[in-house]
Amino acid sequence: MLNSQRNAPNILITGTPGVGKSLMSRMLSEKTDLKWVDVSKLATENACLDEFDEEYQCRVLDEEKLLNGMENLMNEGGKIVDYHSAELFPERWFDIVFVLRTDNTILYDRLKERGYCGKKLEDNIDCEIFQTILEEAKESYREEIVHELMSNSLEQLADNVLVICQWVEQWKIDNQQN
Ligand code: DAT
């Protein structure tokens, strides 16, 4: 059993930057007893970032150090992991995976507002057009646990949060430890 150690589920929220992972993770952590793990923030706090990559304008991630630092947290269960890649983590960590999707024009505006421009902006829009993270997720986890969710509007966000909250409650009923 993948989740035999856990008394609450672990959820991965993934997708291209700007699709709304942080906002959804924060809302979920407020509405459930699950804890939000912002992987980019964790990587910075735990000194898992190495030298600066000029092409991608960001620092290179020390993946092994990051994953080792997350292992105990994930084994506890009850975590909402928010990260813009799906292939980094061990499959056994997650009970369900949500890939957030946003229409290109809406995503473009959100990333512009965030100050992205040039190659960084183009690469992220391409990432969404080519469904890169969705494909990654389907290759990294059992397809039946990977779900695509549209996140264009706040209405969609609220609906998605509601459905996930219901799923968490059902998971707890189905996985009660006697
Ligand atoms: P991510 O964590 O995926 O990079 P975010 O949560 O920071 O994205 O959201 C990016 C911006 O878009 C932020 O200003 C909040 C807004 N946003 C997120 N989800 C949204 C939604 N479903 N509808 C409208 N705006 C949304």
Residues 14-69 have pLDDT tens digits of 999 999 999 999 999 999 999 999 999 999 898 888 888 777 677 888 999 999 99
Q: Where are the domains of the chain?
A: 2-166
* One-letter identity of residue 85: S
Nearest alpha carbon, ligand 1 atom 9 = 20
Q: Which CATH number fits domain 2-166: 3.30.530.20, 3.40.50.300, 3.20.20.70, 3.40.190.10?
A: 3.40.50.300
DSSP-derived pairing of the beta strands 49-53 and 58-61: antiparallel
Tens of pLDDT, residues 60-119: 889 999 999 999 999 999 999 999 999 999 999 999 999 999 999 999 999 999 999 999
In whole angstroms, give the CA distance from residue 164 to residue 142: 18
Q: What is the pLDDT of residues 125-143, one digit of tens each?
A: 999 999 999 999 999 999 9
Q: Which residues pair with 149 in a beta bridge?
A: 100
Which of ligand 1's atoms lies nearest the C-alpha of 24? Answer: 6
| Ligand 1 proximal residues by C-beta, below 6 Å | 15, 17-23, 110, 151, 153-154, 156-157
